Structure 1
Amino acid sequence: MKKWQLFGTTVVGASLLLGACGGNGGSDSGSGEGKDVKGEVKGDGSSTVGPIIEKLNEKFNKKFPNVTVSNAQSGTGGGFEKFISGSTDFSNASRPIKDDEKKKLKDKGIDYKEYKIGQDGVTVTVNKDNDFVKELSKKQLKKIYSGEAKTWKDVNSKWPDKEIKPFSPNQSHGTYDFFSEEVMDKGDIKADKNSDTNQIVSNVDKNKQAIGYFGYDYYKENKDKLKVVNIKDEKGKLTKPSEKTIQNGSYVLSRPLFIYANEKKLKDNKGLQEFLKFTLKDKGKSAEDVGLVALPKDKYTKQLDKLNKFIDKNSDSKDSKKDDSKKEDK
């Protein structure tokens, strides 16, 4: 699985090159059923959602070889910055859009559509040799990541008096924002912060007193190296990350994954329309392909129906304007 996570750097998937040369073995004309659709679609955002987009693009390119879909991964926050500037057609996010981001879009006159394309569970892990941490409450997590607990003994009096080494994604990641809101009550996270999630995995793997958190797909890919920690909710109920508990939301750190589309560009860009329709018709298979979790299938169907109605409505509006223009010419 490819994990590109470069802070402040534009990283574009290999499927951009496939789209540019027609896909399907490099044929210029392509043999996809949507080969008459041409254009360019630009996205940016979450490095958690990015691999889903890459997998979708591989499949999409076979049917729409003349549509180039590029997708950078500058983090959820970085992606929204470009979306607000108008330089992208869609933005990937591992958290809902914030109120200040909504305001900036409104000030720019940009309307948008929100689509949920998968589900994730922020997974907390410790070193494989840690034989005492099996579960933590959200309160204990907050104690660790606020810096209040310096040693494991500060978390639980029965645990060793060893200094905790906490690791976290940095502020460019939606995972950081989610953890700050859900665990820290929007407070600051005091930890060694990393732009590259793979570095967090490596740090937890190499340090016996380490603790780190990231998307479920990173845990699945590295589960032989790490030990998962079950999380108690506010009522003391123990929750464990799995495909089932993440999909039904019973895992306390479950979260939806999003694509936000620029409404005006969605009206005008046939390639963007087809890519979003393809994404929803995929019904989360690509999310599962990269180690994340699909939504219940009916969630995709309902969103696809709304997307089609939006496209049809604006298509009818364009046709009506064309007819009115012809009448005026006469």
Structure 2
Amino acid sequence: MKLHFRSYLLIAFTLFLLNSCGSKQASEQTATSAIAGEIKIDGSSTVYPITEAVAEEFRTEQPNVKVTVGISGTGGGFKKFGRGEIDINDASRPIKEKEDSVCAANNIKHIQLKVAFDGLVVVVNKENSFIDHFTVEELKKIWEPGAQGKITKWNQIRSSWPNEEFHLYGPGTASGTYDYFTEAIVGKSGSSRSDYTASEDDNVLVQGITGDKNGIGFFGLAYYEENKDKLKLVGVDNGKGSVMPSIETVKNGTYAPLARPVFIYVSDAAVKKSGVSEFIAFYLNNATTLVPEVGYIPLNNEEYQNELAKFKSFTTPQ
């Protein structure tokens, strides 16, 4: 009788353990797969590598959340964002007043979150042997609207340079990179000559300059880092001597005026969707690792936590 009772207890205890382990595994599996949904992201080609790197890691942890990341430029992304077509906009500049007005008209509230720093680089063809730097004034002379049809040859910039036509390459007018460059160099955002090869895809610009011995263009530092074997990087002199762009000179502020923060914008409607808040938290908590992996300059940990606290405040009902 005693043996039978002990056997019963042993069987019962074993079943309890198996049931507990099974419940724990089921609970863990449920926790992992509980988040499901779709997150639509678009916007800046500059911010794209950061967001795509985050999305790739997030998909591994949350395979039931579909995250898509597009590239239509900062301005193109804000158009979609203002119409409520996307949840998050990658932006290489702050939102403009007219873009904000469209959001307000459509009852879309939003929050700006800083995610990294980036420098804009000026590059020429790899075979160019006579340029090692430009002054800010020389860049302005090349790119300002009044230069169109008038300033077309290298020796018009410096008399010692060749009497040959240069060809310009740069981001399209919907790009935040274009807005930032024109504001920093020309003095007015969105103001430049229009006779240049424009593209929202920085890879197109890289290919153009690579195949043009008299090519000159600008885009984000990260794209140069990916293509440094194809292009020649030149310094920029803002009156204090020529400085080459690098992670160090962008971070310490000596590479001026072509260094800037980059952002993501999140709508209030988006945070109500499954997976979006988790994605943003994942983004800001992992940025210190992922941002430098794709060639950008991260904020410090405290700054990311401040951005996360700001986001949590935005999602908390008042």
TM-score w.r.t. length of structure 1: 0.80
Alpha-carbon distance, 1:62 to partner: 2.3
8 A contact 1:121–1:215 mirrored in 2: yes
Instruction: Give the conservation status (yes or no) of the 8 Å contact 2:45–2:200.
Output: no
SS in 2 for 1:122: strand
SS at match of 2:50: helix
In the alignment of these two chains, the number of paired residues is 284
Deviations 1:143-198 (A, max 9, x none): 11233532111111121211111111212322111112111222223322234321
In structure 1, which of residues 196, 199, 209 is the aligned counterpart of residue 201 of structure 2? 196
Could you list the runs of 5+ residues in structure 2 that have no partner in the other structure? 1-26
For 1:30 and 1:81, locate their aligned partners in 2 and report how far apart those are by CA, in whole Å: 40
- Of 175, 180, 183, the residue aligned with 1:181 is 183
- Is the aligned partner of 1:223 residue 2:228? yes
Task: Output one character per residue of 1:233-255: Cα deviation in whole Å (capped at 9) or x when no partner.
Answer: 2x334322111122233322111
Equivalence map 1:1-330=2 (5 Å): 34-146=32-144, 147=147, 148-186=150-188, 187-190=191-194, 191-233=196-238, 235-252=239-256, 253-266=258-271, 268-311=272-315, 313-314=316-317
Distance 1:31 1:153 in 2: 68
**Deviating more after overlay: 180-189 vs 218-227:** 180-189
| Partner SS, residue 275 of structure 2 | helix
Output the amino acid matched with 1:228: L
Q: Name the CA distance, whole Å, in 1 between partners of 2:251 and 2:300.
A: 7
CA change 1:195–1:265 in 2 (3 A) is closer
Distance 2:177 2:193 in 1: 12
Answer with 128-137 or 248-257: which moved more.
248-257
> Match for 2:248: what amino acid?
K
The aligned amino acid for 1:306 is: K
Distance in 1 of aligned mates of 2:29 and 2:235: 48
The residue type paired with residue 152 of structure 1 is: W
Structure 1 distance, partners of 2:151, 2:138, is 9
Higher relative contact order (CA 8 A, sep 6+): 2
**Percent identity, aligned pairs only?**
37
Tell me the SS of whatever aligns to 1:201. Answer: helix
Question: SS of the residue aligned with 2:168?
Answer: strand
> Displacement, 1:265?
2.6
Question: Partners in 2 of 1:30 and 1:90 — Cα distance?
Answer: 29
> Corresponding residue for 1:15?
none
- CA distances 1:278-313 after superposition (whole Å, capped 9, x unpaired): 1000133222222222123321111112223443x3
Q: Deviations over 1:70-101 (max 9, x none)?
A: 22211111110000001111111111111111
RMSD of Structure 2 on Structure 1 (CA): 2.0
Does the CA contact (< 8 Å) of 2:117 and 2:260 recur in 1? yes
Change beyond 3 A, Cα 1:237–1:111: farther
Could you tell me how far apart the structure 1 residues matched to 2:43 and 2:100 are? Answer: 16
Computing the radius of gyration from Cα coordinates, the structure with the larger value is 2
The answer (yes or no) to whether the contact 1:47–1:74 under 8 Å persists in 2 is: yes
**Structure 1 residue 30: deviation in Å?**
10
**CA–CA distance in structure 1, aligned partners of residues 253 and 240 of structure 2:** 16
8 Å Cα contact 1:32/1:62 also seen in 2: no
Separation in structure 2 between the aligned mates of residue 179 and residue 215 of structure 1, nearest angstrom = 10
In the alignment, structure 1 segments of 5+ residues that lack a partner are 1-28, 318-330
3-state SS of the aligned residue for 2:229?
coil
Amino acid at match of 1:180: T
Could you list the per-position Cα deviations for residues 126-157 of structure 1 after superposition, in whole angstroms to 9, with x for gaps in the alignment?
11121111111111111112335321111111
Q: Which moved more, 1:106-115 or 1:280-289?
A: 280-289
Is the 8 Å Cα contact of residues 33 and 63 (structure 1) preserved in structure 2?
A: no
Deviation, 1:31, is 5.5
Contact 1:31 1:65 in 2 (8 A): no
**Equivalent residue letter for 1:173:** S
Q: What SS does the aligned partner of 2:165 have?
A: coil
